[in-house]
Amino acid sequence: MGIFDFLSGQFIDVIHWTDDTRDTMVWRFEREGHEIKYGAKLTVREGQAAVFVHEGQIADVFTPGLYMLETNNMPIMTTLQHWDHGFKSPFKSEIYFVNTTRFNDLKWGTKNPIMLRDPEFGPTRIRAFGTYSIRVTDPARFMTEIVGTDGEFTMDEISFQIRNIIVQEFSRVIAGSGIPVLDMAANTQDLGKLIAAQVSKPLADYGLEMPEFYIENISLPPAVEAALDKRTSMGLAGDLGKFTQYSAAEAMTAAAANPAGGGMAAGLGAGMGMAMAQQMAQPGPWGAAPAAAAPAAPPPPPVEHVWHIAVDGQTSGPFSKAKMGRMASEGTLTRDTYVWTAGQDGWKRAEDVRELAQLFTILPPPPPPPGI
């Protein structure tokens, strides 16, 4: 090997990129004057792509592998430059390495509550948050639409825009789904797939895709959650009387155990004690038997029924019992007449209703024959 061949080999560029930052999406290979030597070796590792930019235009995109930067291997650039095969001087170009692996555990969340119409609660607001992953699928489009000439582009520079897209699609999907808020927890997987599919459309215009999308939590406003907690507590309490007595006893204990409460705590404890004494004086499982039974209130007067009559498919009424008695004496109401009153199971013959059957038993007998 001659001295010139040795020196020529020493000046050949070796272009590669190793990243340990975990958030860098694009990194530009820096070379003084952006001069890349003819015959330079380009190493593209798995999970990477290399975008070759010549005089402001994307000349080629290299997938994982080892490349020799010569005109034979870069026909697009050869067409742009009209190089001769023997031309071996450095050329001014740029190489951008694009990370094509997944960026995981990225956070999203609703900055403001989302308004929706819930089938059970009516108009309400919800918040949600979760995680997602992102990946570059079209390095050339990503460079053109997002990165530009940024020499080191990180995930933080685009995460805010992606979160805005997610929240917009999440709001639209949730508001139109019609799923009750209490059932959303059981449908987060299906909702996540649906939202990811909607978000993928605008992301594709950036050269990105969203392989994973997760909804970790959907929450209601504090006031609604407090109402739900009370409703749950009432269901667990069962007997509200016992629950009230138990709550009063707990409040007494807490007040007595709080020396800083002073007179207020003492007064509260005394008030609770009087309330408990009244509760204990009443009959029940927690209270003692009463000393003397209070006189029972008189029963309410019976409710007088009113009646409807059906004759030849036509109904009339309502009539009071007195009116029904007069109709029976006049003959317009017979034993076979169908009658109905509130609480009665369907139409019945008058003689089958105990209250009306009496009207026919108290009628006077037929008059005696003349002359007697």
One digit per residue, the tens of pLDDT, for the chain of length 372 reads 444 443 344 445 788 999 888 899 999 988 766 677 777 889 999 999 999 888 788 888 999 999 887 765 554 444 445 444 444 445 677 899 999 999 999 999 988 888 888 887 788 888 899 999 999 999 999 999 999 888 899 999 999 999 999 999 998 888 887 888 888 888 888 888 889 988 999 999 999 999 999 999 888 878 777 877 777 776 665 566 666 776 777 777 776 666 655 555 555 555 555 555 565 555 555 444 445 556 677 766 666 777 788 887 778 878 887 787 788 877 778 888 888 887 777 888 888 887 777 777 755 556 677 765
* pLDDT for residue 288: 47
- Determine the Cα–Cα distance for residues 159 and 132; give it in Å rounded to an integer: 11
Q: Which among 224, 257, 289 is the end of a domain? A: 224
**Is residue 123 within 8 Å of 117, Cβ to Cβ?**
yes
The CATH number assigned to the domain holding 108 equals 3.30.479.30
| Domain co-membership, 32 together with 141 | no
pLDDT at site 258 = 66
Locus of tokens 């139109």: 176
Q: Answer yes or no: do 136 and 201 share one domain.
A: yes
How far apart (Å, rounded) are the C-alpha atoms in residues 202 and 144?
Answer: 15
* Residue 326 backbone phi and psi in degrees, to 5: -65, -35
**Among candidate residues 199, 224, 249, the one where a domain is terminated:** 224
Other Cβ atoms within 10 Å of 70 Cβ, number? 15
Looking up residue 340, the CATH number of its domain turns out to be 3.30.1490
Instruction: Give the pLDDT confidence score for residue 175 in this predicted structure.
Output: 82
Q: How many folded domains does the chain comprise?
A: 3
Show the tokens assigned to 329.
């004496």
Regarding whether 60 and 168 lie in a shared domain, the answer is no
| Same domain? 37 vs 120 | no
**Same domain assignment for residues 212 and 139:** yes
> Are 173 and 195 found together in one domain?
yes
Q: Is position 157 within any domain?
A: yes
With 0.85 as the threshold, say if the pTM is over it. Answer: no
Residues 73 and 147 in one domain: no
What 3-state class would DSSP assign to 288? coil
Within 13 A of 48's CA, how many CA atoms are on the CB side?
22
Does residue 183 sit within a domain? yes
In a domain, 198, yes or no: yes
What does the pLDDT read at residue 82? 43
Range of the domain at 12: 3-99
Residue 21 confidence (pLDDT)? 85
Alpha helices in the chain (DSSP H): 3-10, 75-81, 139-142, 156-177, 188-204, 222-237, 240-256, 262-281, 321-330, 354-361
Residues 111 and 217 in one domain: yes
Per-residue model confidence (pLDDT) at position 90? 59
Let me know if residue 217 belongs to a domain: yes
Has residue 112 been placed in a domain? yes
Q: Which of 206, 224, 242 is the last residue of a domain?
A: 224
Decide if 288 is inside a domain: no
- Mark whether 47 and 114 lie in a shared domain: no
| Residue in the structure block whose two tokens are 């609660």 | 121
Residue 243 lies in a domain: no
Both 88 and 125 in one domain: the answer is: no
Judgement on whether residues 73 and 151 belong to the same structural domain of the protein: no
- What's residue 145's pLDDT? 92
Long-range contact set of residues 112-116: C-beta below 8 Å, sequence gap at least 24: 113/221, 114/170, 114/171, 114/174, 114/175, 115/175, 116/174, 116/175
Q: Whole-angstrom Cα distance, residue 285 to residue 265?
A: 29
Instruction: With respect to residue 367, please indicate whether it lies within any of the assigned structural domains.
Output: no
Please write the tens of the pLDDT for every residue from 72-123: 555 444 444 544 444 444 567 789 999 999 999 999 998 888 888 888 778 8
CA distance 171 to 117: 12
| Rounded-to-integer distance, Cα 244 and Cα 110, Å | 39
What pLDDT shows up at residue 270? 54
Contact yes or no for 359/333 (Cβ under 8 A): yes
Residue 219 sits in the same domain as residue 179: yes
